[in-house]
Structure 1
Amino acid sequence: MPTKLMMIFVGFDFLFAGCGGLLMGFSLLSEQRMQESPRKDNVAENLLLDQCPLTAGVVNAIFIFVTFLLSLPALFLPSNRGWLRMQGWLVVVCATFTLSIGIAVWVDTLQTRVELSELWARESPLLQSLLQQRFNCCGYFNSTAPPFVQDATCTNSLVAAQKGGCIGPFSSFANRYLDFIFTAAFGIVGVDAILVLCVAMVLQYRSEQERYRHIDEKNGVGGF
């Protein structure tokens, strides 16, 4: 009958694999979404996702799946410790990879306004217009710096001056969106850390069981 420790270990091992699936799904769906034609309802998200390390997310998810598959022998070999040690080190590698992705996104949130200004400047008038429509604003800093794109939202300079620039609403949206992404990444790292602790405890448990077995053999009670 499996011990409570092993049940917790198995639970977090499968949760670890589920985090890999979440990471893979988000990265692939985001890349697919970025291929869609720009619209008012997706332009902001797509521009932000283009700045995220989505390819690294896919690679990280593959590492997680490989680590999970290599952990299966440790589940079916109750006295084995070699597979467990290898799993523990691989989980540390995956956690470091995920943490690096999360930190990269987090650093972007620290300089959102500067980066969005550069992003705005290199985008086409079409995308700038879609952003103006999305956030009901005109221009980035204001209607004149840089100049706004005339569209259905910013019909003339008077209307544009009254609406104000996009820097406020766009940066606020970007911070919320990126906060969600790096918080999810740090949450996955938390699951990884708990799994490493579980691996360490199972290793300790199996080491003690092995030591007791050797003591029993020396005492001649190995058959009981």
Structure 2
Amino acid sequence: MQLTTFGTYVVVDLLFAACGGLLLIFALVTQSQITQTPTIDNVATDLLLNMCPLTAAIANAVFVFVTFLVSVPAMVMPMTRGWLKFQGFLVVVSALFTMILGLTIWFDTLKTRSNLSNIWNQQPASTQSLLQQKFNCCGYMNSTSPAFVTDSACPSALTAAANIGCVTPFVTFANNFLDIIFTGAFGIVGVDVALILSTAMLLKDRKEKERYRHIDEKQGVGAF
């Protein structure tokens, strides 16, 4: 069944709200997760997630919900255009907000090596040890720069010297992980653009109907 202009708008608007929900859930779950005790399984992802602008993501999600609420009058009042125009403006702002978040994370991937070096140096020995065990490496650049932590992955200086530094596997993991996050942000921007287009189409459709209604009223036919 072919969707009408209004039906398309409603579907995309609901997708827009769903994206806001996903953004909020991601930010809140992430904030809760990074406060937990690090383990081999979560230590790397938690350090990377802590780099993401989570507070800004929550603010963005709230803005999405406010924008969706603005669309409710536009849906229940079939001929109104003022609410549609207002929502269209808010969607543009929301799209720019989300794009800035995505670009911020993307820009961080261009500096992953130096960023992770700073993060590594800020971690206690226990966290560095977990990273060494996760990536089977010793030290950051190598076993002496900075010095490795003695653990099951690096039980001695001789073993550590023969092993690789954590920089290569950690940077590769970080880039792949952050790529998924900023790609998701750009995907949300794609939904925003679709909503802007569907809003513009609905505005045009309602403008045409309003024009015909005025013509009919002048001819004495009455509104249709």
| Same structural fold, with TM-score higher than 0.5 when normalized by the shorter chain | yes
Q: Which structure 2 residues correspond to residues 154-169 of structure 1 after superposition, within 5 A?
A: 154-169=154-169
Uncovered stretches (5+) of structure 2, i.e. residues with no partner = none
Q: Which structure 2 residues correspond to residues 55-204 of structure 1 after superposition, within 5 A?
A: 55-204=55-204
Does the alignment pair 1:8 with 2:8?
yes
- TM-score w.r.t. the length of structure 1 is 0.97
1:111 and 1:54 map into 2 onto residues whose CA distance is: 19
1:157 and 1:65 map into 2 onto residues whose CA distance is: 55
Provide the secondary structure at the position in 2 that maps to 1:222. Answer: coil
1:223 and 1:163 map into 2 onto residues whose CA distance is: 80
- TM-score w.r.t. the length of structure 2 is 0.97
Q: CA deviation at 1:121?
A: 1.2
For 1:216, give the aligned amino acid.
D
2:220 and 2:5 map into 1 onto residues whose CA distance is: 29
Q: CA deviation at 1:104?
A: 0.4
For 1:23, give the aligned amino acid.
L
Does structure 1 conserve the Cα–Cα contact (< 8 Å) formed by 2:213 and 2:223? no
Q: Specify whether residues 40 and 89 from structure 1 end up closer, same or farther in structure 2 by C-alpha distance, changes over 3 A only.
A: same
Q: CA deviation at 1:199?
A: 0.6
Q: CA deviation at 1:161?
A: 1.4
Cross-structure match for 2:41 = 41
Does structure 1 conserve the Cα–Cα contact (< 8 Å) formed by 2:92 and 2:192? yes
Q: CA deviation at 1:220?
A: 1.6
1:172 and 1:51 map into 2 onto residues whose CA distance is: 16
1:70 and 1:217 map into 2 onto residues whose CA distance is: 30
For 1:30, give the aligned amino acid.
T
Q: CA deviation at 1:118?
A: 1.1
Q: Specify whether residues 162 and 3 from structure 1 end up closer, same or farther in structure 2 by C-alpha distance, changes over 3 A only.
A: closer
Q: Specify whether residues 171 and 3 from structure 1 end up closer, same or farther in structure 2 by C-alpha distance, changes over 3 A only.
A: closer
User: Deviations along 1:115-145, whole A, 9 cap, x unmatched?
Assistant: 1111111111111111001100000011111
Q: Specify whether residues 21 and 84 from structure 1 end up closer, same or farther in structure 2 by C-alpha distance, changes over 3 A only.
A: same
Identity, in percent, stands at 55
Provide the secondary structure at the position in 2 that maps to 1:62. Answer: helix
Q: Which runs of 4+ in 1 moved over 3 A?
A: none
Provide the secondary structure at the position in 1 that maps to 2:151. Answer: coil
Q: CA deviation at 1:3?
A: 6.3
Q: CA RMSD in A?
A: 1.2
Cross-structure match for 2:217 = 217
